Amino acid sequence: MQKPILILGACGQIGTELTYALRDKHDNDTIIASDIREGSEDLMSSGPFELLDATDYNALEEVIAYYEISEVYLMAAMLSATAEKFPMRAWNLNMNSLFNVLNLAKEKKIDKVFWPSSIAVFGPNTPENNTPQNTIMEPTTVYGISKQSGERWCNYYHHKYGVDVRSVRYPGLISWKTMPGGGTTDYAVEIFHKALSDGHYTCFLKEDTKLPMMFMDDAIRGTIMLMESNEEDIKIRSAYNLSAMSFTPAEIADNIQRIVPDFEITYIPDFRQEIADSWPSSIDDSIARRDWGWQPEFDLERTSELMLRNLKNKD
């Protein structure tokens, strides 16, 4: 029988799909969704839901004790583009929520933690192509600095206090069920919505900006796979590189045009271009494949086809 799992940030882009995936897999009553704001009626009524601020240690401790939570997925975070506008708010949210969860695990109030890192931990001095697991990491964004610091703290809490914390460096995530909020890779979701609603998209990145991306189903499957892996197989306690595909705005537009022939794209780069330029183009995830059997299933062609078909059916 699955011990209760708590999802923090359950109404966000990843949290929503993770909540549904875990509720599909286990008894709905054992998957506790929580967020600082309310989510869709469906998400809130398909199992237990708590309004909860992940930076409030006492409130978090209370919910964990009440439901006898065993595992926490900490999905609450401020992403790269928004974090540049609100540096201190981003730092406080991204770090304090992590410390709260790590300290609860240190005190044995929970058994296992998932915390997401990001390709944003890398910076302009990192090798850009096929970026290795261990390499130069000098992030130049607020978000990247918080993720890199978070990785070091996860590693520290594991080695110093035996905390079972697990993490991956997510690339940009593409989903037709949920919208991203405040990231630099958001264009790769917006473009599908605009292709169907307007037949046109104005992209905030240049046409040849190549970034690592992943279809949400792969991300959710990988996340749950990592959490269900044997403890002794998890050799990296900072965060694993995770990869599926890499493409440019021009390449995604080309894929869309194969299905929506009249689709047009124009490029007006904004402040997010500098963020994207500091990140790798592609990622070497061979260590995740070796340690816990990671294998992506979706490429750009399949992602484009599924995005357009499902968004069309949704309307």
Does 222 contact ligand AKB by CB under 6 A? no
Among 11, 75, 79, 142, binds ligand AKB (CB under 6 A): 79
Distances (CA, A) of 203 to 169, 190, 225: 24, 9, 34
Nearer to ligand AKB by Cβ, of 166 and 272: the residue is 272
Mark the segment that binds ligand AKB (CB under 6 A) among 19-27, 62-70, 182-190, 194-202: 182-190
Does 39 contact ligand AKB by CB under 6 A? no
User: Residue 78 carries which side chain, given as an amino acid letter?
Assistant: M
Among 94, 126, 184, 243, binds ligand AKB (CB under 6 A): 184
The structure tokens listed for 42 are 């469906």
Does 72 contact ligand AKB by CB under 6 A? no
Does 122 contact ligand AKB by CB under 6 A? no
Nearer to ligand AKB by Cβ, of 119 and 265: the residue is 119
Does 120 contact ligand AKB by CB under 6 A? yes
Please, which contacts does 130-136 make with residues 24 or more away whose CB atoms are closer than 8 Å?
Answer: 130/282, 130/283, 130/284, 131/241, 131/280, 131/282, 131/283, 131/284, 132/241, 132/284, 133/236, 133/240, 133/241, 133/284, 133/285, 133/286, 133/287
DSSP for 37-76, written as a single string: S---HHHHHSS-EEE--TT-HHHHHHHHHHHT--EEEE--
Among 172, 222, 280, 296, binds ligand AKB (CB under 6 A): 172
- Report the alpha-carbon distance of residue 31 to residue 39 in Å, rounded: 15
Mark the segment that binds ligand AKB (CB under 6 A) among 127-135, 181-189, 225-233, 257-265: 181-189
Catalytic residue among 20, 67, 73, 143: 143
Q: What's the min distance (Å) between Cβ of 80 and ligand AKB?
A: 3
- Range 247-276, binding ligand AKB (CB under 6 A): none
The sign of the dihedral angle between the CA atoms of 182, 170, 246, 197 is negative
Q: What's the min distance (Å) between Cβ of 185 and ligand AKB?
A: 4
In degrees to the nearest 10, what's the CA dihedral of 244, 251, 124, 274?
A: -130
Q: How far is CA 64 from the centre of its chain?
A: 23
The sign of the dihedral angle between the CA atoms of 9, 143, 223, 310 is positive
Number of residues binding to ligand AKB, judged by CB under 6 A:
11
The structure tokens listed for 309 are 């078909």
Quick check: 18 and 218 in contact, CB under 8 A?
no
Does 170 contact ligand AKB by CB under 6 A? yes
201 is catalytic: no
Q: What's the min distance (Å) between Cβ of 262 and ligand AKB?
A: 29
Quick check: 169 and 242 in contact, CB under 8 A?
yes
| 246: nearest Cα among 131, 134, 141, 116 | 131
Among 31, 102, 119, 154, binds ligand AKB (CB under 6 A): 119
Nearer to ligand AKB by Cβ, of 56 and 190: the residue is 190
Q: What's the min distance (Å) between Cβ of 216 and ligand AKB?
A: 11
Nearer to ligand AKB by Cβ, of 30 and 246: the residue is 246
Nearer to ligand AKB by Cβ, of 67 and 170: the residue is 170
Among 55, 80, 223, 304, binds ligand AKB (CB under 6 A): 80
Quick check: 214 and 46 in contact, CB under 8 A?
no
Residue 41 CB contacts under 8 Å (≥ 6 apart), including other chains: none
Indicate which residues carry an active-site annotation: 143
Q: Which residues contact ligand AKB (rule: CB under 6 A)?
A: 79-80, 118-120, 143, 170, 172, 183-185
